[in-house]
Amino acid sequence: MNRIDPHPPEVLEILRRRGPATRIAVVGASNDPSKSGNVVVRNLAAKGYTVLPVNPREAEIAGLPAYPDLAAVPGPIHLVSVVTPPGVTRSVLEEAARLDLPAVWLQDGSYDDAALAVAAKAPYRTVYEACIMVASNFGLGAGSLEKAANGRGRLVATKQVLKQGAPDGTASAWKAEGPIGPPTLPVLFASFLRLGCASFGGPGTVAYIRRLAVVQRRWINEDDFRLGTALCQAVPGATSMQAAAYVGLRTRGLGGAVAAYVGFGLPAFALMFAMSLAYERAVALHAVTAALTGLRALVVALVVNAAWAFGRSAIHTGRSAVFAASTAVLFLAGGSPFLIVVVAGLAGAVLLEDRQGDGGGAGRPPIQWSRALRSPLVVAAVGVVFIGTLWVFDRRLAILGVVMMKVDAFAFGGGFASVPLMYHEVVEARGWLPPPVFLDGMALGQVTPGPVVITATFVGQRVAGLAGALVATVSIFLPSLFVLLVAEPFFEGLRSRPSFAGAEHGLVLSFVGLLASVAVHFARITPWSMTSGAIAALGLAALLLEVDVVWVVLAGGVVSALLM
């Protein structure tokens, strides 16, 4: 059923978010400066949008890589601006519908009644009788589309179609629960802050990040998230933190990565710091001990559910099941996580190779080195200034920061890989903590939200109070963020390699194996009883029924405190 809406707020919201994270495809782009297709490209690019020219006869337009059609454009498209003749526009509109794109803007002269009839049947929102260049000049508040109505003061006619279901049976990006286009930085921060409050289960949290970013909000698509999971598994650092940063990076650039990173890690830091302060007294309180015992059992359910969710989406054949099981056995046997991940990627490239290729890198523009290295250089500069400032004012804090950076830089294979490295540096090499105290901190790190590397907060607090906790926490996450920023542009470009799909599949399957091994590890160290077993079983049942993880964790803690 169609309905008219003269002021679609979602389309205005897309234009309002100027910056490279907002991606606009211009179909009918031209190298002829006298053509509107050239003017639109240069105008939108000058305003900071990522412009994706589409013209099958050109390789480059206005200094930007051109693509033969919308299907060849890599990455998400938030808005399509059409400047083609009406006869061509009809086929463009049909292609946009097949790709389930969210919004189309028809420039003046690009449409006729037949084209509008095609748009009326499509799943996206269609704006016409308005100029996108003029609309993007204004503050995009109420009435701005009227100003953009080709300078004639007419009310914009906006065709809006509410999609009931996509041809493939899935919900459209337009009908998703979340907004169209990239989220704002406050939305990113708030979303990951909420998720971070219940991010129990270490790397298992990646499944919940996927649910937020891919299923609920549709900020990125499934293929991009699978690519990100493989990337986060291959670089050092806590996988869940890296996955949060990756979503932020893909949607809002460096600012988004930092917002998601900080929002996701802040609850873990706050709770670990509070528990560090109360460490000596907390172990004597029965209710606290009972709640922690029940949450340890519930953590097992969280990781099992995450392993099931990822395995169900990644394992489709007997070969892939054997592959994932083999990596789980290697993890359980104590093999080097870094070596297992590397071998899984290499083996996947051979054993799981997609003969047809991924195709994700087809038509991908060459890497712009200045843009690719800009964000990593900013983070590197921050790290150097951070340690240099500490060295001037408090060398003990500077040494603490360097130690934690060293641990993070070599923690390949996820957050758990950092534990033996941190133990060696903190206990054996420097004697900052006795072994029993470090193990207590590690236990707290497993029952607080966030990755187990948040144990660094505990270590920092025991070494130098609040300042130590802040320095250790920042330092344990900064190097892995730097590596992620360096690797992301090049890692994504590998999609065009014939064997990359197999390697990516192998890395994702190794992550399934890691989840399974972590579940077994947690089950081994958890003190089981009839009550804790029941809490874990009921928690797993609730998660499988897709009850929000926040309520599952809160209920588990309350029940544990009352019954155990």
Most confident of 85-94, 145-154, 499-508: 85-94
Distance in angstroms (rounded) separating the CA atoms of residues 298 and 320: 28
Q: Residue 233 has which token pair? A: 């598994």
Distance in angstroms (rounded) separating the CA atoms of residues 166 and 185: 30
Distance in angstroms (rounded) separating the CA atoms of residues 100 and 77: 10
The DSSP bridge pattern shows strands 2-4 and 157-161 to be antiparallel
Distance in angstroms (rounded) separating the CA atoms of residues 51 and 489: 18
Q: Is the pLDDT of residue 177 over 80?
A: no
Taking the mean position of all CA atoms in its chain, how far away is CA 78?
17
| Residue 414 near residue 507, CB atoms below 8 Å | no
Distance in angstroms (rounded) separating the CA atoms of residues 227 and 218: 15
Calculated CA dihedral for residues 342, 344, 349, 353, nearest 10 degrees: -160
Distance in angstroms (rounded) separating the CA atoms of residues 158 and 6: 5
Q: What is residue 171's predicted lDDT score, i.e. its pLDDT?
A: 33
Distances (CA, A) of 389 to 126, 230, 384: 53, 35, 8
Average the pLDDT over 161-165 and give the result. 32
Average the pLDDT over 138-145 and give the result. 44
Average the pLDDT over 313-326 and give the result. 84
Taking the mean position of all CA atoms in its chain, how far away is CA 276?
30
Tens digit of each residue's pLDDT (9 = 90 or more) over 390-424: 999 999 999 999 999 988 887 765 666 677 678 87
Closest CA to 198 of 288, 287, 298, 325: 298
Q: Is the pLDDT of residue 554 over 50?
A: yes
Tens digit of each residue's pLDDT (9 = 90 or more) over 465-475: 999 999 999 99
Q: Amino acid letter at 156?
A: V
Structure-token match 């495809």, residue found = 25
| Residue 397 near residue 467, CB atoms below 8 Å | yes
Q: What is residue 2's predicted lDDT score, i.e. its pLDDT?
A: 41
Closest CA to 178 of 24, 5, 13, 4: 13
Distance in angstroms (rounded) separating the CA atoms of residues 426 and 436: 12
Closest CA to 157 of 266, 340, 291, 4: 4
**Structural domains in the chain?**
2-161 (3.40.50.720), 185-563 (no CATH)
